[in-house]
Amino acid sequence: MEQASLRDLNEPLIDHAEGQFFLNEAFKIIMEEVLSNGTDVKQKVCEWKEPEELALLLDLGVRETGEPRDKLLQRVRDVAKYSVKTSHPHFFNQQYGGVDYHSLAGRFLTEALNTNLFTYEAAPVFVLMENEVLRGLRQLVGWTEGDGIFCPGGSTSNMYAMNLARYQRFPEVKSQGVWALPRLSIFTSPESHYSVKKGAAFLGIGLDNIIFVKVDDRGRLIPEDLDEKIELSKSQGAVPFLVSCMSGTTVQGVFDPLDHIADICDKHKLWMHVDACWGGSVPFSKKHRHLMKGVDRANSVAWNPHKMLVAGLQCSALLLKDTTNLLKQCHSANATYLFQQDKFYDVNLDIGDKSVQCSRKVDCLKLWLMWKAVGSMGLEERVDKAFIHARYLVEQMKKREGFQLLSMVAPVIKERMMKQGTMMVGYQPLGNKVNFFRVTVFSPLLSQKDMDFFLDEIERLGKDL
Ligand X SMILES: Cc1ncc(COP(=O)(O)O)c(C=O)c1O
Q: Please, which of residues 92-111 interact with ligand X by CB under 6 A?
A: 95
Cβ neighbours around 210 below 10 Å, total: 19
**Least CB distance from residue 45 to ligand X, whole Å?**
20
Contact (Cβ atoms closer than 8 angstroms) between residue 407 and residue 436: yes
Quick check: 281 binds its own copies (CB under 8 A)? no
Contact (Cβ atoms closer than 8 angstroms) between residue 385 and residue 451: no
Quick check: 200 binds its own copies (CB under 8 A)? yes
Of the two residues 260 and 438, which places its CB atom closer to its own copies in the complex? 438
Quick check: 455 binds its own copies (CB under 8 A)? no
The phi, psi pair for 205, rounded to 5°, reads: -90, -35
Under rule CB under 8 A, how many of the chain's residues touch its own copies? 178
Of the candidates 2, 269, 337, 464, which one interacts with its own copies according to CB under 8 A?
337
Of the two residues 201 and 267, which places its CB atom closer to its own copies in the complex? 201
Of the candidates 93, 103, 163, 304, which one interacts with ligand X according to CB under 6 A?
304
Measured distance CA(39)–CA(182) in Å, rounded: 54
Pattern 193-232, ligand X, x by CB under 6 A: x-x-------------------------------------
Quick check: 70 binds its own copies (CB under 8 A)? no
> What beta strand segments (E) does 6-93 contain?
91-92
Bond prior to 236 in cis (omega within 30° of 0): no
Pattern 133-162, ligand X, x by CB under 6 A: --------------------xxx-------
Quick check: 347 binds its own copies (CB under 8 A)? no
Measured distance CA(31)–CA(37) in Å, rounded: 9
For residue 336, which amino acid is it? T
Measured distance CA(396)–CA(126) in Å, rounded: 45
Quick check: 240 binds ligand X (CB under 6 A)? no
Under rule CB under 6 A, how many of the chain's residues touch ligand X? 17
Quick check: 407 binds its own copies (CB under 8 A)? no
Residue from 194, 164, 169, 193 nearest 183 by CA: 169
Rounded to the nearest 10 degrees, the angle between the axes of helix 258-268 and helix 223-235 is: 20
The distance from CA 221 to its chain's CA centroid, rounded to whole angstroms, is 22
Quick check: 235 binds its own copies (CB under 8 A)? no
Of the candidates 41, 43, 49, 403, which one interacts with its own copies according to CB under 8 A?
49
The contacts of residue 261 (CB under 8 Å, 6+ apart) are 221, 223, 226, 243, 245, 272, 294
Residue from 196, 173, 126, 138 nearest 322 by CA: 138
Segment lying near ligand X (by CB under 6 A), choices 23-31, 271-279, 387-395, 454-462: 271-279
Measured distance CA(452)–CA(368) in Å, rounded: 33
Measured distance CA(89)–CA(446) in Å, rounded: 6
Quick check: 41 binds its own copies (CB under 8 A)? no
DSSP annotation of 213 reads P
Segment lying near ligand X (by CB under 6 A), choices 159-167, 243-251, 262-270, 407-415: 243-251
Binding to ligand X, residues 3-42 (CB under 6 A): none
Return the one option of ligand X, its own copies, none that residue 346 interacts with (CB less than 5 to 8 A, by type).
its own copies
Return the one option of its own copies, ligand X, none that residue 214 interacts with (CB less than 5 to 8 A, by type).
none
Of the candidates 99, 149, 308, 397, which one interacts with its own copies according to CB under 8 A?
99
Of the two residues 335 and 405, which places its CB atom closer to its own copies in the complex? 335
Measured distance CA(79)–CA(73) in Å, rounded: 10
Contact (Cβ atoms closer than 8 angstroms) between residue 255 and residue 280: no
**Least CB distance from residue 415 to its own copies, whole Å?**
4
Measured distance CA(160)–CA(162) in Å, rounded: 5
Quick check: 408 binds its own copies (CB under 8 A)? no
Return the one option of ligand X, its own copies, none that residue 278 interacts with (CB less than 5 to 8 A, by type).
ligand X
DSSP annotation of 291 reads G
By Cβ distance, which residue is nearest to ligand X?
Answer: 154
Binding to ligand X, residues 335-364 (CB under 6 A): 357-359
Contact (Cβ atoms closer than 8 angstroms) between residue 368 and residue 312: no
Of the two residues 3 and 336, which places its CB atom closer to ligand X in the complex? 336
User: Given the rule CB under 6 A, which residues bind ligand X?
Assistant: 95, 153-155, 193, 195, 248-250, 275, 277-278, 304, 316, 357-359
